[in-house]
Copies of this chain bind each other. A is one copy, B any other.
Amino acid sequence: MATLHELSEFRRPLAINLVNRPTASNCDDCGARHSGLCSALTEDELEFLTRSAQRVSLAPGTVFVEEGDKALYFYNINQGNVRLFKSLPDGRRQITGFASAGYFLGLAAGDNNGFSAEAMDSVKLCRFSRASLMAVFEELPVLEHKLLEVAMHELVLAQQQMLLLGRKTAIERIASFLLSWAERLEICPAGGLPAPNAVLKLPLSRTDLADYLGLTIETVSRSLSQLKRDGMIDIPNIHEIILLRPRTLSEIAEAAV
């Protein structure tokens, strides 16, 4: 099988980790203050929560969660993009998700991390010790409730991805991905369709896309080209895709009969 995923090249041992403690007041300028977990909290609750948090900056390429390591932390992304993945010893990689500002991460873990996480670009995040966050639940049950909601949503997404990986063709995977990415970027309401000619920003490489969709970069490239030939999309440049006919795309994605 594929032995070309040179994963190790992405690992930069010399990551720059600036760690300090946030205060509720400097949460104000945080990209995640009004989304995800923190949006569920009042100023006072936030003040309480920050006592068990550390702010961390990561250089692009830093692997800050290692699959199998003892699970010590939860993370909340403030800035930048993160890929979550699992790997096989021979280098095959499956990306299980992407996280950007506002995303809470670290739920997929028992005693040990069930996944690895890597900064795709310059990342800032809040790090919580699992033990102390558990303790905070006593004071802030709303937090645990919010976390359960997040976990439930992740489960829905995970099952969608299982259907995609187990049963969809290459073209269907690409079409599904484009639409789910549009939803993620809030170009369209959840469950709805983006407007025709909507512009999609893709901060991912073809390799990331392939490893997320269970394909090779060649197949990703070929499928995108085919969708372009068929007038479904336009590709002005590597990191932008225009959805010319979202309705038809959705019919392809859902294998409508």
Contacts and interface: CB of A to CB of B under 8 A. Distances in A.
Contact of A155 (B90, B108, B145, B211): B108
A159 to B, nearest CB: 5
Given A107-B155, A151-B152, A167-B93, A86 B255 contact: no
Interface string A82-114: 000010111011101000000000011110001
Nearest to A93: B167
Given A107-B155, A152-B107, A162-B161, A255 B144 contact: no
A34 to B, nearest CB: 20
Contacts of A89: 254-257
Interface in A137-155: 137, 141, 144-145, 147-148, 151-155
Interface in A144-184: 144-145, 147-148, 151-156, 158-163, 165-169
State the number of copies, please: 2
B255 A163 contact: no
A33 B213 CA distance: 40
Contacts of A88: 163, 167-168, 254-255
A114 B191 CA distance: 12
Given A88-B255, A90-B257, A93-B167, A158 B159 contact: yes
A110 B156 CA distance: 8
Contacts of A141: 137, 141, 144
A128 interface: no
A75 interface: no
Contact of A162 (B152, B162, B254): B162
Given A166-B94, A167-B214, A156 B255 contact: no
23 contacts: A1-B167, A86-B162, A88-B163, A88-B167, A88-B254, A88-B255, A89-B255, A92-B167, A94-B162, A94-B163, A94-B167, A107-B155, A108-B155, A108-B156, A108-B158, A108-B159, A114-B156, A144-B145, A144-B148, A147-B148, A158-B162, A166-B213, A167-B214
Given A110-B156, A155-B155, 9 more contacts: A86-B160, A92-B167, A92-B255, A96-B162, A108-B155, A108-B159, A114-B160, A137-B145, A166-B213
